[in-house]
A and B are shown apart, each in its own frame.
Chain A
């Protein structure tokens, strides 16, 4: 399961939907793996407006990954200054962009748990697939 995916998920329980503690889920006892993926600089740039940066920073802290900057990088942090035309896809990606690709798309949780900060329910991740199914009394 990719780190970026976690930014789009919350606890599956209906009772947690309105709680601000149900997002982000907290990773526990995880095994991480880097899965090599082609870099798409345009994607990294354009997914950032949809990312909850504070939640991503918190996730990195909990996983013991290198700390992210306090504020979300801007477009000028992502491409080399030689070519600032945002439509030029050949514009050279910066190390910041490469680091984000590595974190968001290549860093995967293969085994472990995701814990809801509101209800404490634990969701298992096995062989890279997260299981959010709830026993019927908890739905």
Chain B
């Protein structure tokens, strides 16, 4: 398939919001790959209309580039023109920026448009009712770090107010760290999200795409997902930077089979 355009993020301040990078682009490539399109069409195309409009949710949207891409190309990726999207981010600046990214991308659609709901300022899937999400996307903070950013400081740094240069610098460092710092094995936030998947996904149709890096020990992660129960499936849907038999980054597809 021809390359689909990358959504515009020129309005985003990358001092405090994650700038689209290799991992983001791997999501664009994976979601629009022939394999994933075929898998998603089987699950969601117009033949399944009686189930209602499919809902795509991205947790930790950052600039919004991945959700905007999924929204603007939903008619290709899911094979239908009545898709709805919802995003979340713990960083309120990212929520505002991503809203614009998604809305701009949708405004350029030529046919019936995807409906973008909101970008919620929340932690992962908190506040979304269980069992509703059809396609969940997560590009986590995956870099192994000694600590996670200080949760106690977050409420202050999350305020959209003007600050002294020193405080503003500390705020920006805090907000950026939230987008990459993953704690032990880079897995602390991802493990939290993985634990939410069985609850938040639609019990029949739900599918999740989660990115891992090599230091996250992807094989061990896959093994643990298989232990959720016999109905669970997981595979590597996309990867980049293959070196000596190891993928630097990979995106897992996680779903239930009846």
A135 CB within 8 Å of chain B? yes
Chain B residues with a Cβ closer than 8 Å to the other chain, count: 37
A39 → chain B, closest Cβ, in Å? 9
Query: Is the beta-carbon distance between B121 and A129 smaller than 8 angstroms?
Result: yes
B52 at the interface (CB under 8 A from A): yes
Is B95 an interface residue when CB atoms closer than 8 A count as contact? yes
Q: Name A115-139 residues within 8 Å CB distance of B.
A: 123, 126-136, 139
With A and B bound together, what is the CA distance between A75 and B21 in angstroms?
A: 44
Contact B95 A135 (CB under 8 A): no
Contact of A43 with B53 at beta-carbon distance under 8 Å, contacts A129-B96, A133-B158 already known:
yes
* B80-123 interface (Cβ within 8 A of A): 81-82, 84, 86, 90, 92, 95-96, 99, 112-113, 115, 117-123
Q: How far is the CA of A44 from the CA of B113 in the complex (A)?
A: 12
The answer, yes or no, to whether A2 is at the interface (CB within 8 Å) is yes
Task: Kindly state the separation between the CA atoms of A43 and B51 in the bound complex, as whole angstroms.
Answer: 12
Chain A contacts for B92, CB-based, 8 A: 129, 131
- In the bound assembly, the distance between CA atoms of A94 and B92 in angstroms comes to 38
B118 engages A1 (CB within 8 Å):
yes
Which residues of chain B from 41 to 78 have any CB-CB distance to chain A below 8 Å in the complex?
Answer: 49-53, 55
Say yes or no: A49 contacts B118, CB within 8 Å. Answer: no
Query: With the chains together, A42 CA to B52 CA distance in Å?
Result: 10
A79 interfacial by beta-carbon distance below 8 Å: no
Return chain B residues, CB-CB under 8 Å to A134.
123, 126
A37 to B118, CA, bound (A): 14
Question: Out of A1, A8, A11, A40, which one reaches B115, CB within 8 Å?
Answer: A40
- Render B152-163 as a binary contact track against A, CB cut-off 8 A, 1 for contact: 101100101000
Which residues of A (83-139) have their CB < 8 Å from a CB of B?
89, 105, 123, 126-136, 139
A124 to B155, CA, bound (A): 13
Chain A 38-57 interface residues, beta-carbon cutoff 8 Å to B: 38, 40, 42-43, 45-50
Per a CB cutoff under 8 Å, which of B51, B127, B160 touches A11?
Answer: B127
A135 to B115 Cα, complex, angstroms:
31
**Cβ of B11 under 8 Å from chain A:** no
In the complex, chain A residues whose CB is within 8 Å of the CB of B117: 2, 4-5, 8
Contact B127 A46 (CB under 8 A): no
Kindly state the interface size class of chain A when it binds its partner. Answer: 35 or more
**Distance of B244 from chain A, by nearest CB (Å):** 41
In the bound assembly, the distance between CA atoms of A56 and B88 in angstroms comes to 22
Tell me the nearest residue of chain A to B46, going by C-beta. Answer: A87
Contact yes or no, A48 B52, CB < 8 A: yes
CA of A89 to CA of B49, assembled, Å: 14
- B residues at A contact (CB < 8 Å): 49-53, 55, 81-82, 84, 86, 90, 92, 95-96, 99, 112-113, 115, 117-123, 126-130, 132, 151-152, 154-155, 158, 160
Listed in ascending order, the chain A residues whose CB lies under 8 Å from chain B are: 1-2, 4-5, 8-12, 17, 23, 37-38, 40, 42-43, 45-50, 89, 105, 123, 126-136, 139
Beyond the given A9-B129, A50-B132, A134-B126, could you list 7 further A-B residue pairs with CB under 8 A, ordered by the A residue number?
A8-B132, A10-B129, A42-B82, A43-B53, A47-B82, A50-B55, A133-B158
